[in-house]
Amino acid sequence: MLRDTWLIFRRDMTGALRNPAWLLIGLAQPLLYLFFFGPLLVKSLGAQGMSEVDGWMVLTPALIAQLALFGSSFVGFGLLAEFRSGVVERLRVTPVHRAALLLGKVLANALQAAVQAVLIILLAYLVFDLNAPFGGVLLSLAIVFLLALTLASCSYALALTLKSEEAFPALLNAVLMPLLLLSGILIPITAGLAPKWLYTISQINPFRHVVDVERNSFRGDFSMDALFTGSVVVLVMAVLAVWWGTRTFKRENA
């Protein structure tokens, strides 16, 4: 299965490298937030007593989480195109392991998200006053990789289940928007800032805990309290998502 996974991974990475425009386009949204929203947020946090350096430490990890959230959630469109053009049907008659069909794709997607996150972090270092520890950045990139793996698996499973270019984006938008708003990516949702009911709902959102562990990593807070919940959440989500995606691929190719 490892060889089959590598073949699918190489195929998808080669396609992405031959047309890197889409990788750059995927960076557009977080870059817009970094340059046009970041200074406003940092100024606003400064009015609450937070330094400018701390402000960028709040925004930058949230942006790379947002990059994984949106960039990986829409990869199912590519699978729908392959399904319509008969690529999935041709792969079905090959001896490639069915689980490798998913794993090769999601690993390629996760690596692309991690590379894009590196570019965002480098820009934040070079242009703004980001001063995150190297270990914290590495940990946050690992979390971004797992988050992208999770969402890409769900996206492929959902695309294969719906098989509809109309229903797929509508459902994604309906799900992603509340996840974004309740994750605290744009503005941290704290007990002191948010109404009690909103704070309680945000605690149910698993992506909220992933964003929290990203910010704690950037702050260099490696204590158990800071990292445990978010790390466990992203690991559990990754396992469940890969299981769902693999099961869907196997059923589709049965």
pLDDT tens digits along 157-196: 998 888 888 888 888 888 888 888 888 888 888 877 788 8
- Residue pair 148/108 in contact (Cβ under 8 Å)? The answer is no
- If one compares 188 and 231, the residue with the highest pLDDT of the two is 231
Q: How far, in whole angstroms, is CA 144 from its chain's centroid? A: 6
Q: What is the mean pLDDT of residues 54-74?
A: 86
**Quick one: what percent of the chain has pLDDT higher than 90?**
19
Residue type for position 221: D
* Length, in residues, of the chain: 254
Q: Phi, psi at residue 115, to the nearest 5°?
A: -65, -40
Task: Calculate the average pLDDT of the chain.
Answer: 85
Q: Give the confidence band of 227 by pLDDT, cuts at 50, 70, 90.
A: confident
Distance CA 77, CA 251 (A): 19
pLDDT at 142 over 90: yes
Beta-carbon contacts of residue 243 (< 8 Å; ≥ 6 apart): none
What is the helix (H) or strand (E) element at residue 150, kind and residue range? helix 134-162
Q: Give the confidence band of 11 by pLDDT, cuts at 50, 70, 90.
A: confident
Q: What is the mean pLDDT of residues 69-77?
A: 85
Q: What is the mean pLDDT of residues 119-125?
A: 90
Q: Using DSSP, state whether 241 is helix, strand or coil.
A: helix
- Residue pair 67/113 in contact (Cβ under 8 Å)? The answer is yes
Q: What is the mean pLDDT of residues 130-152?
A: 91
Q: Give the confidence band of 52 by pLDDT, cuts at 50, 70, 90.
A: low
Q: pTM here?
A: 0.88
Distances (CA, A) of 33 to 30, 192, 194: 5, 25, 22
